[in-house]
Amino acid sequence: MVDNEEVLDFSKKKKKSKALNLDEILDKETDEKPETKDQAVEDTDELDLSSLKKKKKKKKTAFPLDGQVDSTSIKENGEHSPEKNGREDLPKKTKTVKIVLDEISDSKDPDTAGDLDDLGLGKKKKKKKAVIADDSEKLEEPASGNEIVERGVQSWSGTDRDYMYDELLARVFDIMRQKNPDIVSGEKKRFVMKPPQCARVGTKKTSFVNFTEICQMLHRQPKHTLAFILAELGTSGSVDGNNQLIIKGRFQQKQLESVLRRYIKEYVTCHTCRSPDTILERDVRLHFLRCRVCQSRCSVATIKSGFQAVTGKRARIRAKAMS
Amino acid sequence: MSDEVLNLQGYDPFADASKGNDVGSQGTVIHIRIQQRNGRKTLTTVQGISDDYDKKKIVRACKKEFACNGTVVDHSEYGEVLQLQGDQRTNIAEFLTNVGLAKKDQVKIHGF
């Protein structure tokens, strides 16, 4: 994942923290998936898919700490309620996972195996895996069935009644989520940008270090971006040999960032679909923004610096004009 | 012939468009800009206020309200431009909308 501190989302700043959190969570999920596959199987009989990840984490931390206590309690559970098949499956699997995780419980397992040898404890790893596979098959059936009923997708199938509005709504949202997995997180695809880096050059000038880099990211001519920034800040400046922009005047990073954000809003993102994948083309003195996603084409405002008041020394200006 | 087509009479869809904005007669966008001077001093310029208004009176009101100095500068291209000392961008934008000189979307604030 990209560094939180370094990356700023220019298009939507308010949602930044939330979005980043989401990203983190997603990342964690993807990280965890491969190593905790066995546990995921165990959790399927809890049916609550949204909270699955959290539970997984909790259990994982709990395992090495009180593995032995757990094993005894589970053993009791299994003895007291042997008539419930599903209940019996659950403790068994937690135990198998435990064996994989820590070796202290491994030594204890033969005892429990003695009590419940039909559960397949204390056997070699090959067998364990086979047991897990069997259980997953058993457990997935009821889980998926319940899920469908819960969502109301097929609750009217086989009956004669009319569809309820809520059911249809749930159905259409399910389809939407299936077709575009991007929406599931509730976030649109965000436009992530590097923040402008700025450094002071002497006391009166500011250097915008990664100016050309940002221009490349935005697919804009540096000339155009430069014109906008200078017009907006009401100063003068130029790009120097190191591809950095030297602006006259003192500017902080957040100030440059707000200007850059305004530039992106006006000249980079598509006005119709807000996608940043656009081309700026010049046509009969006017600039047109052409979107590569929705193919819309609209004109953008020309860059004008407008009225500039005299701020320097008038005598110096006069002397310049004379010479 | 035209009497038969009743639908085309009576309602002009562009009536309210030609009437212009009900807020004043501000046709163009008012640009509010900031310029850096020496040190941490700044200068705010207001460009594009309609000719119907007396800029000097506006400046007089602004000077009193924001407790700053200001002038009117005549420019060949941009007309009469207000200049106010200091960063008065938000102040002047608020002032213009409150007084009813311009709508909120007619005021454009530039600068950082």
Per-residue model confidence (pLDDT) at position B59 = 92
How many contacts does A have with B, using Cβ atoms within 8 A? Answer: 53
Least Cα separation, residue B18 to chain A (angstroms): 23
Per-residue model confidence (pLDDT) at position B68 = 93
Yes or no, beta carbons of B47 and A307 under 8 Å apart: yes
Residues 6+ away with beta carbon under 8 Å from A224: A267, A280, A287, A303
Model confidence at A25: pLDDT above 90 = no
B44 part of contact set with chain A, CB < 8 Å: no
Is the whole model's pTM more than 0.90, yes or no? no
B33 part of contact set with chain A, CB < 8 Å: yes
Q: Lowest mean pLDDT: which of A35-49, A269-283, B62-76?
A: A35-49
DSSP string, A179-193: H-GGGGGS-PPP-EE
Yes or no, beta carbons of B36 and A311 under 8 Å apart: yes
Model confidence at A281: pLDDT above 80 = yes
Per-residue model confidence (pLDDT) at position B37 = 86
A252 contacts in chain B (CB < 8 Å): 112
Q: Which B-chain residues 57-76 have CB contacts (< 8 A) with chain A?
A: 73, 75
Tell me how long chain B is.
112
- Closest chain A residue by Cα to residue B44: A309
Mean pLDDT confidence for B54-79: 91
Yes or no, beta carbons of A255 and B73 under 8 Å apart: no
Per-residue model confidence (pLDDT) at position B38 = 83
SS3 letters across A192-237: EECCCCEEEECCCEEEECCHHHHHHHHCCCHHHHHHHHHHHHCCCE
* DSSP conformational letter for A7: -
B28 part of contact set with chain A, CB < 8 Å: no
A265: pLDDT confidence band, cut at 50, 70 and 90? confident
For the segment A59-74, what is each residue's pLDDT rounded down to a tens digit?
444 444 444 444 444 4
* Selected residue of A232, A266, A304, A307 to mutate for chain B interface (largest B Cβ count, 10 A): A307
Yes or no, beta carbons of B35 and A255 under 8 Å apart: no
Least Cα separation, residue A255 to chain B (angstroms): 5
Please count the CA atoms within 13 angstroms of the CA of A174 that sit on its side-chain side.
13
Yes or no, beta carbons of B43 and A233 under 8 Å apart: no
Closest CA to B28 of B95, B78, B99: B78
For the segment A174-227, what is each residue's pLDDT rounded down to a tens digit?
888 887 766 555 555 567 778 888 888 888 899 988 888 888 888 888 888 999
B86: pLDDT confidence band, cut at 50, 70 and 90? very high
Alpha-carbon distances of A297 from A186, A238, A240, A283, A285, rounded to whole Å: 28, 30, 34, 12, 15
Take residue B77 and report the two structure tokens written for it.
Answer: 């291209």
